[in-house]
Amino acid sequence: MERHWIKNFDALATSDERRDALTILEAGYDAVQTERVIQEYVSVTDNSITIRGRTFDTSGFENIYLVGFGKGACAAVYELYKILNTRLKKSVVIDRAILTTCPSAIDAFVGTHPMPSDQNVRATKVVMGLAEEAGENDLVLVVVAGGGSSLLCSTDEECEQNIRLFEEFERVGAPIRELNTVRKHISELKGGGLAEMLHPATIVGMVFSDIVGGNPEEVASGPTYPDQSTTDDARAILKKYGMEKAFALQETPKDKKYFEKVTNIVLISNEDALKKMAAAAESIGYASVIIETPLYEFPETALAKISEKTAPKSVVFAGGEIQLQVPEDHGTGGRCQFLALEALRTIGSHAVFVAAASDGRDNSDEAGAIVDNGTVERIVEQGIDLAPYRARMDTIPVFQKTGDEITTGPLEANVSDWYFLLTP
């Protein structure tokens, strides 16, 4: 690694085990950084572009367009722009933050996340304008990244429905996959809608997957993928939570012609990062176990699945996005920090548990937390009663007091969350 991604690495590395855990986590951050991913998996010659082993002849296209949306999409579009440059007819990107180095030749827009806003709608209209401009003899490269479900928002009506949907699903603790299914059916662009709008151009989707478990069609709610769900499926999910009359649903494109000239390629995923972290663990003497099924359960179940794989001198890895039922009177912090707080109930002697967001923002300015018995001791020494913090899901004050928050700052990457338990 060329640098510490974790800004407070030295302050957190108070034992050999914690230092090992932080070193392993940084291997994950190193693996998913967008600049490195583009440089490793994308190459260009005079007449072709190769994307993670798939080569496309570019000599027959009249124009090449580049569009991107999601967290880290600006960095990806910028890297692609640098290697394609004058070949590009037009480039548009929507991200929650724009690189200061982004040239004016790229139409770059700042949107809001996780809640969409009129900023997102205005930016999405530019993407839709590009889609209308692209023709049958054109190539459109589409960078699809996590967070695109919010950032790509075609109308004010979709924006309003998306906000209500997010708030209601967070209140009832509904899983992300159910959320994305409904999102596809309140949008013109999700669930293959962008592919329909770009038709009959040739489309290559370049996916930065924050969906764990091999379902890249759910990233950003699948704007370039054919959708297998129907309005009936979305309606059944809403009915399950008593919301069936609260949202106006529409069917996603079902005609196969819209996808005949579409190729989607996953550039980087949570699984890729877990493999890199496992290799880093093995290089310093630990056995590694990767839980193949994603953890989308409530914390108690997720932690039990990790614990049952534990063995001496090992690291058990998992990825996902745990399910939470967020109280109305909630505190500050995110899923990773809450899972780390819950891990304190059962953490073994000298074991270290890490939960961290790959984009460096666990619904806060912190990336997550690292905890061990030292954390427990500091809580006892300071007389902290965890019960009210757990009840309000108010994790930041706890970890600020114990000094266990992981700080990276915002990172130009997003492949969901990582969880692992290191046992010496």
Q: Could you read off the pLDDT of 145-167 as tens digits, one per residue?
A: 999 999 999 999 999 999 999 99
Tell me the average pLDDT of the chain: 96
Per-residue model confidence (pLDDT) at position 420 = 98
The per-residue pLDDT for range 181-227, each reduced to its tens digit, is: 999 999 999 999 999 999 999 999 999 999 988 899 999 999 999 99
- Whether residue 29 has pLDDT greater than 80: yes
Q: What distances in angstroms separate CA 296 from CA 77, 79, 324, one per listed residue?
A: 30, 32, 9
CA–centroid distance for 243 within its chain = 26
Domain with CATH 3.40.50.10180 in the chain: 45-254
User: Residue 113: pLDDT band by 50, 70, 90 thresholds?
Assistant: very high
Domain 45-254 has CATH 3.40.50.300: no
Considering Cα of 186, then 190, then 194, then 195, what sign does the dihedral take? negative
Give the 3-state secondary structure of residue 357: strand
33-45 pLDDT tens trace = 999 999 999 999 9
Tokens of 274: 């877990």
Please report, as a single letter, which amino acid is at residue 96.
R
* DSSP characters over 104-149: TTEEEEE--SSS--HHHHHHHHHHHHHHHH--TTEEEEEEEETTHH
Of 358, 275, 334, which is closest to residue 72 (Cα–Cα)?
358
User: Rounded CA gap, 115 and 111, in Å?
Assistant: 9
What does the alpha-carbon distance between residue 2 and residue 379 come to, in Å, rounded to a whole number?
35
The DSSP call for residue 295 is: B
Q: What is the pLDDT of residue 3?
A: 72
Residue 1 has pLDDT above 80, yes or no: no
Nearest to 259 by CA among 162, 193, 330: 193
Give the domain 286-423 fold: glycerate kinase, domain 1 (3.40.1480)
Per-residue pLDDT band for 100 (boundaries 50, 70, 90) equals confident
Q: How far is CA 65 from the centre of its chain?
A: 24
To the nearest 10°, report the CA torsion of 410, 142, 120, 197: -170
Three-state secondary structure readout of 362-417: CCCCCCEEEECHHHHHHHHHCCCCHHHHHHCCCCHHHHHHHCCEECCCCCCCCCCE
Q: How many CA atoms lie within 13 A of 180 on its CB side?
A: 23
pLDDT in tens, 232-260: 999 999 999 999 899 999 999 999 999 99
Query: What token pair was written down for 177?
Result: 């996959």
Report cis status (omega within 30 of 0) of the bond before 114: yes
Residue whose token pair is 């692992």: 420
User: Alpha-carbon distance 233 to 155, whole Å?
Assistant: 23
Q: What whole-number distance in Å separates Cα of residue 204 and Cα of residue 262?
A: 6
Contact 369, 405 (CB under 8 A): yes
Structure confidence at residue 2 as a pLDDT band (50, 70, 90): low
Find, among 354, 286, 403, 373, the residue nearest to 26 by Cα: 354
DSSP 178-190: HHHHHHHTT-SST
At 62, list the tokens.
Answer: 């009249």
Residues forming CATH 3.40.1480.10 domain(s) in the chain: 286-423
Would you say the C-alpha torsion 404, 408, 409, 414 has a positive or negative sign?
A: negative
What's the token pair of residue 304?
């039990």
How far, CA to CA in Å, does 16 sit from each of 321, 374, 376?
28, 13, 18
Write out pLDDT tens, residues 119-144. Answer: 999 999 999 999 999 999 999 999 99
The per-residue pLDDT for range 295-352, each reduced to its tens digit, is: 999 999 999 999 999 999 999 999 999 999 999 899 999 999 999 999 999 998 899 9
Q: Taking 60 as the threshold, does the pLDDT of residue 382 lie above it?
A: yes
